[in-house]
Amino acid sequence: MHSASASSPASRLIRREILDLHAYHVPDSAGCIKLDAMENPYLLPPELRSDIAAALASAAINRYPDPCASSLKEKIRGVTGLPQEMELLIGNGSDELIQLLALALNKPGATLLSVEPSFVMYRMIATFTGMRYVGVPLSANSGKADFSLDLPAILAAIKREQPALIFLAYPNNPTGNLFKADAVKQIIEASQGLVVLDEAYYAFASDSFIPCLAQYPNLLVMRTFSKLGMAGLRLGFLAGSAEWLEQLEKLRLPYNVGVLPQLAAGKLLAHHEVLLQQAEQIKRDRVTLYRQLGEIAAVKVYPSEANFLLFRVANASAIFNGLKQRGVLIKNLDGGHPMLKDCLRVTVGAPEENEKFMAALRETITQSA
């Protein structure tokens, strides 16, 4: 990637904080077992693929899509159990929704607050939009990170910073843990601003705040269908009261979700049970993979309610490179945050992918010892 020289028009005209950013990096996965991006490893059943193909073949792609995605919203309501008085806003993945929220709430001096380590796009999008960002470190129990919420520190930061917008990933990425619901409720109650719970991994977790939406007027819940098997469609939604969503709709770009994603997602949600069955298989395989990682003395693995596992090794970069040389791509988090020193994150794949990952990991650790 070319960087702007000091005398170029780009370097003179683009904001300094943008020039200082690094673009979101997606590594080349050619020839690798791809376990780096929290994707569902399973294809759809052949008959469902045929059904979707037929629907897409007759789609009117010469016309603009339904700007409100009305049919898709009804299907989402049907699979989420959304309270009837709550509304939906559809986004091109959850990233677009995060950006839209930051744009809407970024009055002069406004602050976006989250915990760290967490999803990198909260901080990045604050930078994109020129919003002040505050990250509150997760808990370090006896000097060792356990990645739970440091509730006193967060409540103190809320009182001090008065954030306009708070993002909490529930479960958290990249740590995989589900914060205690009572602690999250205290954060919502303490905040004068908007609290958004990012439930990207809802299909693999044991709890959701969607039933609580009517209870808290300053709460929105955000989800993406990417982790459930629709990563290629780029589809997410915000759920909450009409008071919030009617204002946010003003910032949503027209026709942000195309004809084909709307049609394909509608078909998939009509067969939601197929995707949930795949999620159940991933959860069972997560248990097996957690146990196998825990049996390796050189590995510290952390509990997860997502479709990935975070683990710590003696030299993360060497292990990451050794795995890649053996045809397995995972995520190297070392250097991303001090609490993630020597941490790696692996997506739970299909059983044969998990077996190949474990074999490659054991071999790499043995060779690097």
Q: What string of DSSP letters covers 70-100?
A: HHHHHHHHHHHT--TT-EEEEESHHHHHHHH
Mean pLDDT of 116-121: 96
Q: Give the bridge partners for 239, in sequence order.
A: 88, 221
What type of residue sits at position 259? V
CB atoms within 10 A of CB 19: 12
Q: Are 112 and 167 in contact (CB under 8 A)?
A: yes
Strand partners, 167: 196
Which of 305, 290, 294, 355 has its CA nearest to residue 326? 355
Which helix or strand (DSSP H or E) is residue 47 part of? helix 46-57
Q: What pLDDT is recorded for position 31?
A: 80
Residue 134: pLDDT above 60? yes
Mean pLDDT of the chain: 94
Fold observed for domain 9-45+274-368: Aspartate Aminotransferase, domain 1 (3.90.1150)
Does the pLDDT at position 3 exceed 60?
A: no
Its CATH class, for the domain covering 61-271, is: alpha beta
Write down the residue that tokens 């692996």 correspond to. Answer: 346
- Which pLDDT band holds residue 12 (cuts at 50, 70, 90)? confident
> What pLDDT shows up at residue 255?
94
Amino acid (1-letter code) at residue 129: T
- Which tokens is 50 given? 């045929």
pLDDT in tens, 234-282: 999 999 999 999 999 999 999 999 999 999 999 999 999 999 999 999 9
Question: Which of 4-13, 61-70, 173-182 is least confident?
Answer: 4-13
Give this prediction's pTM. 0.93
* Rounded distance between C-alpha atoms, residue 102 and residue 120, angstroms: 14
Task: Give residue-wise pLDDT tens across range 334-349.
Answer: 999 999 999 999 999 9
5 vs 49, higher pLDDT: 49
**CATH 3.40.640.10 in the chain, residues?**
61-271
The predicted-structure confidence for 139-156, as pLDDT tens digits, reads as follows 976 456 689 999 999 999
Question: Distance between terminal CA atoms of the chain?
Answer: 36
Q: How high is the pLDDT of residue 4?
A: 61
Interval 105-126 mean pLDDT: 97
For 151-202, how does the pLDDT look when each residue is reduced to its tens digit (9 = 90+)? 999 999 999 999 999 999 999 999 999 999 999 999 999 999 999 999 999 9
Strands in 57-210 per DSSP E? 87-91, 111-116, 132-137, 140-141, 144-145, 165-169, 194-198
Radius of gyration of the chain (CA): 21
pLDDT of residue 27: 75
| Residue 14's pLDDT band (cuts 50, 70, 90) | confident
- The tens digit of pLDDT for each residue in 48-57 reads 999 999 999 9
CB atoms within 10 A of CB 144: 10
Q: Which of 5-9, 40-44, 58-62 has the lowest mean pLDDT?
A: 5-9
Dihedral pair phi/psi, residue 219, rounded to 5°: -115, 135
The DSSP element (H or E) to which 135 belongs, if any, is strand 132-137
Q: Which pLDDT does position 141 carry in this prediction?
A: 64
Q: Which of 264, 284, 282 is nearest to 228 (CA)?
A: 282
Point out the least confidently predicted range of 59-68, 102-111, 143-152, 238-247: 143-152
Where in the chain do CATH 3.90.1150.10 domains reside?
9-45+274-368
